[in-house]
Every structure is written in C-alpha cells, then in structure tokens.
A and B are shown apart, each in its own frame.
Chain A
Amino acid sequence: MQKLQDIAVMVEPKDDVPLNHLNATPILHEILHALQRLATQGEPTTIDLRAIPFGPGDEDALLNQLGMGEVKIELDTLGKSTIWETAFSGVWIIDHQNAESERIALQIEVAHIPAIIKAQTEDVTESLQLLDNQLNPNRTETTGLREE
C-alpha cells in the first residue's frame, strides 16, 4: 500500500516569499544558551523539536543554519536513527525513525556526546558474561566476572 510520504507533494514558494516563518530563530537562541551551559557547567540539554510549532520551511531553515559537522552515526534498533553533529561542535541532531522509516522523534541534543550513543551499563555487564562464555564454553561454574 502506498504510504503518505510516497505521494509526491511539494510546496512551492510563491514569487519571492521564502518558506521560512522565522520560527527557527528562537530555537537557535535556545541552543546558544544551552551551549553556554555546556561550556561553563558541563550541563547537557535536549530540545524536542516535535513540541515546537514549526511552519512550512522552519525546520529546513533551522537544520540548514546548523549545518553538518564531521561526525555522523547510524543506530539500528527499532528502526534507524541518524545522529549527526552540526557545524557547531556539541550540537547534535537526533532523528529517530521506526521500522517503517517514519520519524518518531526529532531532537537537538547539546552535549559532549549524545546519551543514546553511550553503552548502557547493564548491556556492558551482559556483554562481559557473553564474551566470557564464548571464550570458555566448557566452564560450568560462574566466572565471578560480574563481581570483579
């Protein structure tokens, strides 16, 4: 079945009217303040762009102004997530999609590294056990590695 996003619809700006309602500007100021907090206090900030009343063109204007930096990460769990650092170091765009490639969240994270990239403590503990089991398949006793 054809999905909504497969239907080719493009809004064309009339005459010289740009598709930008200037609603990106307050977000850029919010990012500026968040960067100040990160630089001086190390405090990260996340901005949920789904909660922002953007008009046509506003999101593109914001993302264009932030630009593309030197890091791009793809996460593949419950659908694809694309994470990239903008031209402003410490300002990351996180675009979460579901298994049908539909966006389920779009966030700006102002941080040294996005929280979702870090390995989760529980996963690290389970990995340790898993690798140990692979290296020592005949061992019957627990390794005690969890306590180490």
Chain B
Amino acid sequence: MADDMKRFTQTLGESLRERGVSRRGFLKFCTATASMMALPPTMVPAIAAALEKARRPSVIWLSFQECTGCTESITRSHSPSVENLIFDHISLDYHHTLQVAAGDAAEAAREAAMHENEGKYIVVVDGSIPLDNPGFSTIAGISNLQMLEETVAGAAAVVAVGSCAAFGGLPHADPNPTGAVSVSDIVHDKPIVNVSGCPPIPTVITGVLAHFLTFGSLPELDALGRPMVFFGQSIHDRCYRRPFYDKGLFAETFDDEGARKGWCLYRLGCKGPMTYNACATTKWNQGTSWPVESGHGCLGCSEPDFWDAGGFYNALSIPDSDIIRRAGVVAAAGVALGAAAGALNRSTRAKAAASHEKVTIDDLDKTS
C-alpha cells in the first residue's frame, strides 16, 4: 500500500531515477518521446522539464462495440522501453479486456478510480455506442450509453481511440443495424480527442497519452477532433511515392511494371489523397513498413464512414487527367494538386456513400 502511494505521488523524473535511469538516459527517453509525439527535436528540453515534474494520471479504458483491434494495436506495439515506461507511469485502473478482475470487482475498480481521481482522470474509449437498443452491448449489465455517461461525468478529458469510437466505424456502416454513434455524438461537455484509424497507430495512441502526461493538456486538434501533429497532413502529401504521382507514373495492376517499380497506387483505389494519418512517416510494426510501402493502396481507415466510401479497389480515385482538367492546375503544382484531388475525392466519396457500393470478389480479384 505504501509503495502504491509512493508510485502515485512520485514524479516521472523521481520514478525513473529510482530505477537507476541516468539523466542521459532520461534525455534519450525524452528524445524518443518527442519523436513519438511527432514534436520537433527542439522541444526535447521542454519535454524533459515537463516530464521531470509529471505525475501519474489515472486512465479508465472503456470498450464498447469494437473488435479489440485497438487494444491489440497498443499492446502489441514493440517499443517497450519508451511506451512501457509511459504506461508504467499511467495508472490504467480499468480495462475490462486486460484486467484480471471481472464483473462486480471490475466495476468496483472503475468506480473507485472515478471517485479517487474526480475531475483528473482520462477516459479512453474504443468502440461505438449503440442507441437503438441498450441491450445490443452491455458490460456487467450496464449499457454502453449509461457507462459512458457516468464515467465521463468526472473526467478531465476523453480519448476516442479507433474509428468506431471517433466516428462510429464499422458498426455505423450502412444500414447501421444497432444505431451506433461515436463518443462525440454523446459527450458534449468534455474535451475529446479522436485518435481514428482501424486500428489506430499504436504510437499515435501513446503519443496522445504522453502529451497529456507531459504537458497536462491535450494536443492541438483538427476539424474532426484529431491531433494535428499526427493527422495534419494527408497520406498522399507525405507518401514517398508522391513524386511518381507528380510525374504521372501509376501502377495499373498489382503486378505490372509500375507496381514492381513502386509507382503511385492512385489508380488502384488508393485513398491517400483524402486520408489524414501518420502512416507514411510513423509506419507500422516498429517502423518496418506501411500499406503503401507493401504495395497496397491506403483504405482511408482514419476517415469517417470509410466503410461506405465505395469498394477499396473501385475507382473512387479520379484519373489524373480528369483532375488536371477539373482542378485547372498542372502536374507541377504537386501540393495544390494533391489538395484538389482530396477535395474531389471527398465529393466522390459522398456520392459513393449515397449509393453504398459493396466490395465484391471481383473487386478483390481485379487485375485490370
């Protein structure tokens, strides 16, 4: 009990030094944290000063209509020295998938964390909330809606992890049989950060939590409530294949010469121009690769209603000649063209959503 109290009152700096981490090690930790938060290296001294004094926040993780992919994403992230140090310093007081306790004991842990940290704890939500019938998704007999409302009441902020919690996701896909909604459809009086993605990039999840741990505040958000540092630029604008797009070099099939040479996947249905996420720089599996580098177009999974945006391999993307004609720019104006493509794609996506095109086996087998 005394050790628990000590851990709770210790600052991160004290906790690390007690484990024998030198100040050089701490600087290395701050460098990796800055990189994880997508902050410039010049911020490292400020991060070090803030983390030195940071105290351990309580986190309550609620899982509603979801596939547990978001939890898999974060628990399978492969950088234990940094992320585990951060998670060691966050008191994850409730996560019914991960915790040993179940039923009444688990709910008692949630209520105790809410009571002891009134006004200070963070609520992380993955999964959407069904409104048509509370019985569609319950935990310990408590409906998702009731649990969300009572848990966020005393929270400092809410982090909606994954496209389901952020935008409704797969459960919200047409015809939305459960009446699924996002966290921000229900919670209106608390700061909310949407960390979208299906699943979200693990370092983006930890980056947001690290930002709160470091600065005691939430990062700057875009119009969809996502952190600008990770979602501020489109996949297309940060894609290493972008120069091929600007030169008009496209793969037409998944096994043609263009595909082998790594040309742009725009014509194979890549949703990069309309998708905002950090995959192109942060990458996946400890920076090993990401979908486009593996030869597959972006699915747009961090955007609202991406399931209803037409088939993943369908020609949602508009041929470049059409874009040039309709946007009235030349290929040399690369960034502007990317933005135009994004705008046109959003329009096309809306039309596709209205007609709700389904992906067929032919789409998956598409070779030309």
Residues on A lying within 8 angstroms of B by beta carbon are: 3-5, 14, 17, 21-23, 46-48, 50-56, 58, 75, 77-79, 81, 96, 98-100, 102-105, 107, 115-116, 120, 122-123
A120 to chain B, nearest CB (A): 4
* Given A53-B280, A102-B286, A123-B23, A21:B240 Cβ within 8 A: yes
B262 touches A21 (CB 8 A): yes
Contact present for B27 and A104 (CB under 8 Å): no
Q: Is A48 touching B40 in the complex (CB atoms < 8 A)? A: yes
Query: In the complex, which range does the number of interface residues on chain B fall in?
Result: 35 or more
- Once bound together, how far apart are the Cα atoms of A98 and B77, in whole Å? 13
Bound CA span A23–B238, Å: 11
CB distance from A57 to the nearest CB of B (A): 9
Contacting A at CB under 8 A, from B7-44, are 21-25, 27-29, 31-32, 34-35, 38, 40-42, 44
**Chain A residues with Cβ under 8 A from B34's Cβ?**
48
Chain B hits for A54, CB < 8 A: 240
Supposing A14-B260, A79-B81, A102-B79 touch, asked if A51 and B23 sit within 8 A by C-beta, the answer is: no
User: Looking at the complex, which one of A53, A75, A100, A107 makes contact with B41 (CB distance below 8 Å)?
Assistant: A107
B287 CB within 8 Å of chain A = yes
B344 in contact (CB, < 8 A): no
* A104 CB contact (under 8 Å) in B35, B285, B293: B35
How many angstroms from the CA of A50 to the CA of B80 in the assembled complex?
A: 17
Q: Are A55 and B293 in contact (CB under 8 A)?
A: yes
Contacts of B44 in A (CB 8 A): 46
Q: A21-B262, A103-B286, A107-B41 are in contact. Are A53 and B240 (CB under 8 A)?
A: yes
Known: A4-B285, A79-B81. 7 other contacts (CB 8 A): A47-B41, A53-B239, A96-B32, A104-B79, A104-B82, A107-B35, A116-B27
Q: Which residues of the other chain, B, contact A100 by a CB distance below 8 angstroms? A: 78, 80-81
Pick from B32, B35, B240: contact of A58, CB under 8 Å: B240
Top-6 shortest CB links A-B = A55-B240, A98-B81, A77-B25, A46-B41, A120-B23, A104-B32
A5 to B78, CA, bound (A): 11
Q: Are B28 and A116 in contact (CB-based, < 8 A)?
A: yes
Which of A22, A48, A98 sits near B79, CB closer than 8 Å? A98
- A103 CA / B303 CA spacing, docked (Å): 29
CA distance A53 to B242 in the complex (A): 10
Closest to A108 in B: B41
Query: Looking across the interface, which residue of chain B has its beta carbon closest to that of A4?
Result: B285
A21-B243, A46-B41 given as contacts; is B293 within 8 A of A105 (CB)?
Answer: no
Which chain B residues border A58 with CB–CB below 8 Å? 240
Are B78 and A50 closer than 8 Å at their CB atoms? no
| Assembled-state Cα–Cα distance A79/B104 (Å) | 41
Q: How far is the CB of B340 from the nearest CB of chain A, in Å?
A: 20
A-B contact pairs, 8 of them (CB 8 A): A4-B288, A17-B261, A21-B241, A51-B38, A53-B280, A55-B293, A75-B24, A103-B287
Give the residues in chain B near A103, CB-CB below 8 Å.
Answer: 286-287
Verify if B282 is at the interface (C-beta below 8 Å from A).
yes
Known interface pairs A100-B81, A120-B23; A22-B243 also in contact (CB < 8 Å): yes
Q: Are B32 and A77 in contact (CB under 8 A)?
A: no
In Å, the complex CA distance between A17 and B257 comes to 11
Nearest CB of B to A123, in Å: 5
Contact B28 A50 (CB under 8 A): no
Q: How far is the CA of A96 from the CA of B38 in the complex (A)?
A: 16
- Select A14's contact among B32, B40, B78, B261, beta carbons within 8 Å: B261
Q: What is the CA–CA distance of A105 and B41 in the complex, to the nearest angstrom?
A: 11
**B29 and A78 within 8 A (CB):** yes
Pair A50/B35 contact, Cβ less than 8 Å: yes
Q: A51-B38, A79-B81 are in contact. Are A123 and B31 (CB under 8 A)?
A: no
Docked CA distance A47–B27 (Å): 16
B253 at interface, CB cutoff 8 A: no
For the complex, give the distance between the alpha carbons of A123 and B21 in Å: 11
Interface pair A96/B41, CB less than 8 Å apart: no
Indicate whether B281 reaches chain A with its CB closer than 8 angstroms.
yes
- State A47–B241 Cα separation when bound (angstroms): 21
The closest CB in chain B to the CB of A55 belongs to B240
Within 8 A of A (CB), among B79-94: 79-82
- In the assembled complex, the Cα of A49 lies from the Cα of B22 at a distance in Å of 25
Residue of B nearest to A58 (CB): B240
CB distance from B181 to the nearest CB of A (A): 34
Known interface pairs A99-B80, A116-B27. Does A51 touch B35 (Cβ–Cβ under 8 Å)?
Answer: yes
Q: Which residue of B lies closest to A121 (CB)?
A: B23
